[in-house]
Amino acid sequence: MIRPWHSLRGRLLLLALLVEAVMLTLLVTNSLRLLTDNMTEQARENAEQIAPVLNAALVAPLAQRDHATLRAVVQESQTAQGFSYLAVTDRQGKVLALAGWPEGRPLPAADNQFSIFKLGGLPRYDVVTPINLSGQALGQLHFGLDLSRIVAAHGQLLNQGVAIALGELLLSAGLMLLLGYYLTRHLGALARASEAVAAGNLTPQPLVEGRDEVGRLAAAFNAMSRAVAERIGELTAAHADQARLTEEVEAERARLAALLESMAFGVLYADPAGKVVYANPAFCHLWALPEAPAAHTSELLQLLGERENELADYPALRAALQARQEDYEFSWRDGRIYTLHRRPVQDSHGQPLGAMWVFEDVTDARLTAQQLIAARDAAEQASRAKAAFLATMSHEVRTPMNGIIGMTDLALQTELSGEQREYLQWAKSSAESLLTILNDILDFSKIEAGRMELESVPLDIPALLNHIVGLFSADAQKKGLALSWRAEGALPGNLAGDPVRLRQILTNLVSNAIKFTASGSVTLAVWAQPLEGDGRERLHFTVADTGIGIPVDKREHIFSPFTQAERFITRKFGGTGLGLTIVARLVELMYGRIWLESEPGRGTTFHFTIGFGRINPVRPQAEAGEIHDLPGARILLVEDTPVNQRLGQVILQKHGYKVTLAEDGLVALNLLAAQEFDLILMDVQMPNMDGLEATRRLRQLEAAGRRRTPVVALTANALAGDRETCLAAGMDDFLAKPFHADEMYAVVGRHLG
């Protein structure tokens, strides 16, 4: 128990009371002094002012010896002016008038100085002043100024001041006690809480917080207590975590040891100095070690060098190890093949702890790989053979087909009997069907072999759609179907794509739609889709018919090869069943997708999207099919196949062209050396000198000064790469076999115009 004046509260209280007592004493004393000075000054001034007034009032009665008036003036003045007494004496001191003073009692002498506290006397200021007039002394005025009011006021002020000061001290003491209690109760709580912490209770009850200093101190203490509690909790949790981690590390170490001991890979770990620290059993087995090397006893190179004679090329292995090569493969003299993988081991701060080598016997894997490579090579060889076969098939089948179809066309243009014409038309139709089947098979084969290559040339979508509709308008008209196309919204320009394959897709779909629609309409539509992330312009095409529709259970197979909705359809409508498969593959190759909506008996709508590239605007080429005849023009036809020589000659001559034949490129060059031609139609595959070589040589001659002659390739190779090959050789155009007469006229007209 601390003594009251030893506590902060007691000291503050004593100090405050002491200061206040001093200040109050000064205040009361000063007030008394001011009051006394003020009232004294007033009394003195009053005395100084009243004396002349009384003098003036007393002069006349004194001069007149009017004692009655003198007494009246004195008595009235004494009662009215606050005098203790008032008296007038003549020059000899005889009292002439008297008031407030006992008769016969000597009048008091005048006070030398003004003082309200006269020892042993009444509070009075005695004044004696002569009464003169014009230099004549008429008498003397005696009066005593009554100071009892000043003394009373002084005493009253003193009493009240002391009372107020005492009250103030008592009130202050009370307030200070209350304030001290209010302030120090929190301090007491804080002290108790601190003692509790010192005693070991690190999480005492929270203290009352507030906005004042003590409240903030309590808040800080609470925060400190919470922080201590949190730290203890964290330490406890960390301890638990550490124990758990230790267990986990131990378990992990056990698992890792089990793994290392059970795995087929040889694992060796060495410290930064190259000393072997650990080797698992597989390593000992791979290197035929009788037992695992003791840690830090031997070096890796030394360990492996013991097998030098058994290794096919130990110096190379040693060099790889010294060079810290990460991956290395080496062989044993007995044919085994090992790989090693070196990986540096670092701690969490990136400091090197050593390195780990993993050795693996890859003998079996290497043998398997070698077998697979051989198989792959064989497959690639087979694929190349297949491609060559396809190319050959394409060329070899198309060449006679060109003759069949062309000659049939020529024959149909001659005068025939009705029966002959019918037979020839059947022959032509069969040939074209055969060509379609052939093209489908070739396309499917190319797609499946991954050899389908697409062009990227400027596209004119409206022209292409016009062409499609024009191509099938006659067929649609025959069946009474309405065939049309429309673009919904503006189509982007400057598109690049493969017009042949897009035309093939549309031709196939429109052909199917007309084929499977008995009445109603076939409508093409196209619109632009928003740009996607690949940066391609995407068009959405639809081909809608009002035909027989496709049953639900057949739709998922509609794009599978060799599939048609119903077998009778094949029988009824014909076809290989590859058309939609090729269409779907082409759409996918052109960055799009295809799907359908169908309702049996009401019609089908095929949807597909195509992603096109963008190209810079180019000057539009002359429309395909725009023929500029130039009768009399000299054309060199370089063709080795007699039927095609004849076919071309007849077609060209029918339009008045002068045709000169050459059997191969060599003959053609000889002819060109002798004469000028306006156009050269050049077969590509020919004996002695093919068309490509002949064209290259011609262009060389032209580079030396010869006039340039346009060259159009005639080829039965339908592969896309053939066109580029021809153009690269210096040819100007490309006409694929088999071709129709109109196609030939179009190409010739284009280059002669």
Q: Provide the CA 305 distance to its chain's centre, in angstroms.
A: 56
3-class SS of residue 79:
helix
Note whether 331 binds another protein by CB under 8 A: no
Q: Which stretch binds another protein (CB under 8 A): 131-139, 152-160, 250-258, 434-442?
A: 131-139
CB of 25 to another protein, least distance (A): 55
- With respect to another protein, which residue has the nearer C-beta, 134 or 417? 134
CB of 97 to another protein, least distance (A): 15
CB of 61 to another protein, least distance (A): 8
CA 648, CA 350: separation in Å to the nearest integer?
79
CB of 128 to another protein, least distance (A): 20
CB of 157 to another protein, least distance (A): 44
- With respect to another protein, which residue has the nearer C-beta, 65 or 593? 65
Under rule CB under 8 A, which residues in 136-155 are in contact with another protein? 136, 138
CA 412, CA 577: separation in Å to the nearest integer?
31
Nearest to 581 by CA among 441, 389, 435, 450: 441
- Cα torsion angle, 710, 715, 720, 724, sign: negative
- With respect to another protein, which residue has the nearer C-beta, 68 or 273? 68
Under rule CB under 8 A, which residues in 48-77 are in contact with another protein? 59-61, 63-66, 69
DSSP structural state of residue 364: H
Confirm if 489 and 567 have CB atoms less than 8 A apart.
no
Give the N- to C-terminal CA distance of the chain in Å, as an integer. 127
CB of 28 to another protein, least distance (A): 51
CB of 142 to another protein, least distance (A): 20
Per-residue x/- marks for another protein, 174-213, CB under 8 A?
Answer: ----------------------------------------
What Rg, from alpha-carbon coordinates, does the chain have?
Answer: 66
Q: Provide the CA 156 distance to its chain's centre, in angstroms.
A: 88
Number of residues lying near another protein (CB under 8 A): 14
CA 626, CA 724: separation in Å to the nearest integer?
23
Dihedrals phi, psi of 107, to nearest 5 degrees: -70, 145
CB of 139 to another protein, least distance (A): 10
- With respect to another protein, which residue has the nearer C-beta, 94 or 349? 94
Q: Which stretch binds another protein (CB under 8 A): 127-135, 240-248, 478-486, 700-708?
A: 127-135
3-class SS of residue 556:
coil
- With respect to another protein, which residue has the nearer C-beta, 136 or 429? 136
CB of 130 to another protein, least distance (A): 14
Q: Which stretch binds another protein (CB under 8 A): 129-137, 336-344, 645-653, 680-688?
A: 129-137
Q: Which of 102, 104, 120, 135 binds another protein (CB under 8 A)?
A: 135
- With respect to another protein, which residue has the nearer C-beta, 136 or 519? 136
CA 530, CA 540: separation in Å to the nearest integer?
10
- On the CB side of 402, CA atoms within 13 Å amount to 30
CB of 65 to another protein, least distance (A): 6
Q: In what order do the strands lie in the sheet with 679-683?
A: 658-662, 634-638, 679-683, 711-715, 733-736
Note whether 134 binds another protein by CB under 8 A: yes
DSSP structural state of residue 684: S
Note whether 263 binds another protein by CB under 8 A: no
- With respect to another protein, which residue has the nearer C-beta, 113 or 134? 134
Neighbours of 482 (CB within 10 A): 12
CA 340, CA 270: separation in Å to the nearest integer?
14
Confirm if 497 and 506 have CB atoms less than 8 A apart.
no
- With respect to another protein, which residue has the nearer C-beta, 88 or 438? 88
Q: Which of 133, 295, 491, 615 binds another protein (CB under 8 A)?
A: 133
- Cis bond leading into 738, ω under 30°? yes
Neighbours of 41 (CB within 10 A): 11
Residue written as token pair 């550490």: 242
- With respect to another protein, which residue has the nearer C-beta, 129 or 363? 129
* 457-459 and 495-497 strand pairing: antiparallel
CB of 57 to another protein, least distance (A): 11
- With respect to another protein, which residue has the nearer C-beta, 136 or 529? 136
Binding site for another protein (CB under 8 A): 59-61, 63-66, 69, 91, 133-136, 138
